[in-house]
Amino acid sequence: MVNSNRILILFAHPALEKSRINRQLIQAVKGLDSVTVHDLYEAYPNFHIDVSFEQELLLAHDIIVFQHPFYWYSSPALLKEWQDLVLEYGFAYGHEGTALHGKKFLTSITTGGGEQAYQRQGYNRFTLRELLLPFEQTAYLCGMEYLPPFVVQGTHQLRESHQIAKHAEDYRTVITALRDNTINWESLRQFKHLNQSLAQVIRTPELPHHA
């Protein structure tokens, strides 16, 4: 495909064997063409991140995805360490730090609490988009376009396997559409979450292409 994007999914889950949702999500996108799944906890069990390798990976992709459970309103520790080390001054930001300019950035997170918890009146007091501001700002400083996050909420309530399977299918659809450039980039900005209304976000393949 002419317009295809190469996607790097930086996946961080310290206990994948206990995961119910993330395991299904990552399974759904593994093996897709032009999609690199990089399992950080598998690659760096002792937190010893290979910085130059990671930077080369970033350079080789167009869309960077952070996929992780939402721990204490942030990422698991290894992904934070990854940010601290890999997004170096002079590489990702600063005068000469333009390596990531023009790339797109997506967070894909799962939260235990439901949507009603992430409101002024909810026990988390802030919306998810507000709590994700550090990621949004990181993307901004690195010159990357921040996309509305892919969010699976209320995972504590998700009991039925078909509910989980639905999310996994949505994730695969989203990643495929990002790769194939069949996203309505303009209408995308009006949504809080990427998977809020997939029908409106993704162009149907029948429509004529205009690059």
Partner 1 sequence: MHSEDFFFQAFVYLVAAVLSVPVAKRLGLGSVLGYLIAGVIIGPFVLGFVGKEGSDVMHFAEFGVVMMLFLVGLELQPSLLWRLRLPILGLGGLQVTVTALVVAGLGVLYGLPWTMALAVGLILAMSSTAIVLQTLNEKGLMKTEAGQSSFSVLLFQDIAVIPILALLPLLAIKTSASVSLAAAEQTAEHSSALAGWQQALLVIGTVGGIIIAGRFLMRPVFRFIANTQLREVFTATALLLVIGIALAMQKVGLSPALGTFVAGVVLADNEYRHELETDIEPFKGLLLGLFFISVGASINFNLLIEQPLLILGVVFALILVKFAVLFGLGRFFKLELSQNLLFAFALAQGGEFAFVLFSFALQNNVLTAAVAGPLIAAVALSMMMTPLIMILHDQWVQPRFVTSAPQPEADTIDDNENPVIIAGFGRFGQVVGRLLLANGFKTTVLEQSPGQIEMLRRFGFKVFYGDASRIDLLRAAGAQQARLLVVAIDEREKALHIVDQVRKHFPHLKILARAIDRGHAYELIRRGVEVVEREMFGSALEMGVEALKLLGLRSYKAHRAGHTFKHHDEAALHELAHAMGEEKVLVARSRQLARDLEQLLQSDNQDLVHDVDRAWDTSVLRKDA
Q: Contact positions toward partner 1, by CB under 8 A?
A: 46, 48, 50-51, 84-85, 88-90, 94-95
- Closest residue by Cα to residue 55 from 114, 125, 142, 115: 142
For residue 44, CA distances in Å to 75, 106, 143, 150, 172 come to 16, 22, 27, 25, 26
Measured in degrees and rounded to the nearest 5, phi and psi for residue 150 equal -90, 120
**Nearest approach, Cβ of 85 to partner 1 (angstroms)?**
5
Closer CB to partner 1, 113 or 143, in the complex: 143
Can you list the pairs that 120-125 forms with residues at least 24 positions away whose Cβ atoms lie under 8 Å? 124/73
Residue 180: Cβ within 10 Å count: 18
Give SS3 for 149. Answer: coil
**Nearest approach, Cβ of 83 to partner 1 (angstroms)?**
12
Closer CB to partner 1, 32 or 85, in the complex: 85
**Nearest approach, Cβ of 198 to partner 1 (angstroms)?**
39
Closer CB to partner 1, 85 or 131, in the complex: 85
**Nearest approach, Cβ of 89 to partner 1 (angstroms)?**
5
Closer CB to partner 1, 43 or 117, in the complex: 43
